[in-house]
Amino acid sequence: MEGHNLAESPTYKLSTTPEGIVDSLLDHFNSRDIETMLGFYEDDAVVISTSGEPKRGKIAIAHELQQSFGFGLPIEIVARNIYSTDNLASLVLHWRITGTGNNGEKVNIAGTSSDYVKKGRDGYWRCWFGNPFGVQVRSLF
Protein backbone atom coordinates (compact mmCIF):
# COMPACT_ATOMS: atom_id res chain seq x y z
CA MET A 1 0.00 0.00 0.00
CA GLU A 2 1.45 3.32 -1.00
CA GLY A 3 2.75 5.47 1.86
CA HIS A 4 3.05 2.63 4.35
CA ASN A 5 6.65 1.63 3.64
CA LEU A 6 6.03 -2.09 3.21
CA ALA A 7 9.15 -4.14 2.74
CA GLU A 8 10.39 -7.69 2.11
CA SER A 9 9.20 -9.95 -0.68
CA PRO A 10 7.17 -8.13 -3.32
CA THR A 11 4.32 -10.59 -2.80
CA TYR A 12 4.20 -11.13 0.99
CA LYS A 13 5.30 -7.99 2.73
CA LEU A 14 5.93 -7.22 6.36
CA SER A 15 5.21 -3.67 7.41
CA THR A 16 7.62 -1.15 8.88
CA THR A 17 4.68 0.87 10.30
CA PRO A 18 1.74 -0.11 12.53
CA GLU A 19 -0.64 1.37 9.95
CA GLY A 20 0.64 -1.04 7.30
CA ILE A 21 0.07 -4.16 9.40
CA VAL A 22 -3.46 -4.76 8.02
CA ASP A 23 -2.21 -4.82 4.43
CA SER A 24 0.53 -7.21 5.52
CA LEU A 25 -1.99 -9.45 7.27
CA LEU A 26 -4.22 -9.49 4.19
CA ASP A 27 -1.28 -10.41 1.94
CA HIS A 28 -0.15 -13.22 4.21
CA PHE A 29 -3.59 -14.68 5.01
CA ASN A 30 -4.91 -14.50 1.47
CA SER A 31 -1.90 -16.45 0.21
CA ARG A 32 -3.68 -19.37 1.93
CA ASP A 33 -0.24 -20.86 2.46
CA ILE A 34 0.64 -21.93 6.01
CA GLU A 35 4.38 -21.24 5.70
CA THR A 36 3.75 -17.79 4.23
CA MET A 37 1.27 -16.93 6.99
CA LEU A 38 3.65 -18.12 9.71
CA GLY A 39 6.08 -15.44 8.54
CA PHE A 40 3.58 -12.88 9.86
CA TYR A 41 4.03 -14.18 13.45
CA GLU A 42 6.78 -13.87 16.04
CA ASP A 43 8.41 -17.24 16.82
CA ASP A 44 6.81 -17.35 20.29
CA ALA A 45 3.49 -15.80 19.28
CA VAL A 46 0.22 -16.78 20.94
CA VAL A 47 -3.08 -17.24 19.12
CA ILE A 48 -6.35 -17.82 20.95
CA SER A 49 -8.17 -20.76 19.37
CA THR A 50 -11.87 -20.78 18.49
CA SER A 51 -12.47 -22.64 21.77
CA GLY A 52 -10.73 -19.88 23.73
CA GLU A 53 -7.49 -21.73 24.44
CA PRO A 54 -4.09 -20.06 23.99
CA LYS A 55 -1.87 -21.74 21.40
CA ARG A 56 1.82 -20.75 21.54
CA GLY A 57 4.45 -21.09 18.84
CA LYS A 58 4.38 -21.59 15.12
CA ILE A 59 3.54 -25.32 15.18
CA ALA A 60 0.39 -24.72 17.25
CA ILE A 61 -0.50 -21.67 15.17
CA ALA A 62 -0.11 -23.70 11.97
CA HIS A 63 -2.76 -26.12 13.26
CA GLU A 64 -5.17 -23.23 13.90
CA LEU A 65 -4.49 -21.77 10.46
CA GLN A 66 -5.31 -25.08 8.75
CA GLN A 67 -8.90 -24.70 9.93
CA SER A 68 -9.26 -21.22 8.46
CA PHE A 69 -7.43 -22.05 5.25
CA GLY A 70 -9.51 -25.21 4.78
CA PHE A 71 -12.38 -23.14 3.42
CA GLY A 72 -10.24 -21.95 0.50
CA LEU A 73 -11.63 -18.43 0.82
CA PRO A 74 -9.98 -15.02 1.27
CA ILE A 75 -10.41 -12.85 4.33
CA GLU A 76 -11.71 -9.29 4.35
CA ILE A 77 -10.50 -6.94 7.11
CA VAL A 78 -11.55 -3.50 8.28
CA ALA A 79 -9.35 -1.82 10.89
CA ARG A 80 -11.45 -0.34 13.69
CA ASN A 81 -8.59 0.91 15.89
CA ILE A 82 -4.82 0.86 15.77
CA TYR A 83 -3.05 2.27 18.81
CA SER A 84 0.73 2.26 18.87
CA THR A 85 3.75 3.23 20.89
CA ASP A 86 7.37 2.99 19.84
CA ASN A 87 7.43 -0.76 19.26
CA LEU A 88 4.02 -2.10 20.33
CA ALA A 89 0.58 -1.77 18.78
CA SER A 90 -2.92 -2.86 19.70
CA LEU A 91 -5.28 -3.67 16.83
CA VAL A 92 -9.05 -4.04 16.79
CA LEU A 93 -10.00 -5.53 13.44
CA HIS A 94 -13.33 -6.59 12.01
CA TRP A 95 -12.85 -9.57 9.69
CA ARG A 96 -15.02 -11.79 7.54
CA ILE A 97 -14.63 -14.96 5.50
CA THR A 98 -17.59 -15.53 3.18
CA GLY A 99 -18.38 -17.48 0.05
CA THR A 100 -18.67 -21.08 -1.05
CA GLY A 101 -16.03 -23.23 0.57
CA ASN A 102 -13.95 -25.99 -0.97
CA ASN A 103 -16.59 -28.52 0.12
CA GLY A 104 -19.36 -26.65 -1.72
CA GLU A 105 -21.01 -25.35 1.45
CA LYS A 106 -21.73 -21.69 2.16
CA VAL A 107 -19.33 -20.03 4.62
CA ASN A 108 -20.10 -16.89 6.58
CA ILE A 109 -17.72 -16.41 9.50
CA ALA A 110 -16.98 -13.03 11.01
CA GLY A 111 -15.50 -11.59 14.15
CA THR A 112 -13.81 -8.65 15.74
CA SER A 113 -10.30 -9.42 16.82
CA SER A 114 -8.13 -7.97 19.53
CA ASP A 115 -4.52 -8.39 18.43
CA TYR A 116 -1.10 -7.14 19.45
CA VAL A 117 1.87 -6.65 17.18
CA LYS A 118 5.42 -5.62 17.92
CA LYS A 119 8.27 -4.16 15.99
CA GLY A 120 11.21 -6.53 15.75
CA ARG A 121 14.87 -5.64 15.82
CA ASP A 122 14.81 -5.91 12.03
CA GLY A 123 12.27 -3.05 11.89
CA TYR A 124 9.32 -5.21 10.77
CA TRP A 125 6.02 -5.53 12.63
CA ARG A 126 4.76 -9.06 13.39
CA CYS A 127 1.88 -10.48 15.40
CA TRP A 128 2.78 -11.74 18.86
CA PHE A 129 -0.76 -12.14 20.27
CA GLY A 130 -3.76 -12.89 18.09
CA ASN A 131 -7.28 -13.21 19.41
CA PRO A 132 -9.55 -13.50 16.35
CA PHE A 133 -12.77 -13.55 18.38
CA GLY A 134 -11.38 -11.08 20.92
CA VAL A 135 -14.55 -9.16 21.67
CA GLN A 136 -16.86 -12.19 21.66
CA VAL A 137 -18.17 -13.25 25.08
CA ARG A 138 -17.29 -16.94 25.32
CA SER A 139 -18.98 -17.69 28.62
CA LEU A 140 -20.63 -15.77 31.39
CA PHE A 141 -19.64 -18.34 34.04
Is residue 100 assigned to a domain?
A: yes
Residue range of the domain that includes 22: 18-131
pLDDT value at residue 50: 84
Give the total number of structural domains in the chain. 1
Is residue 3 assigned to a domain?
A: no
Per-residue pLDDT of the chain (141 residues; tens, 9 = 90+): 333 444 444 567 899 999 899 999 999 999 999 999 999 999 999 999 988 899 999 999 999 999 889 899 999 999 999 999 999 999 999 999 999 999 999 999 999 999 999 999 999 999 999 999 986 655 544
The CATH number covering residue 27 comes to 3.10.450.50
The answer to whether 130 touches 46, Cβ cutoff 8 Å, is: yes
> Going by C-beta distance under 8 Å and a sequence separation of 6 or more, which residues neighbour residue 25?
40, 77, 93, 127
Residue 140, burial from CB neighbour count under 10 angstroms (0-12, 13-18, 19+): exposed
Is residue 40 assigned to a domain?
A: yes
pLDDT value at residue 4: 41
Is residue 42 assigned to a domain?
A: yes
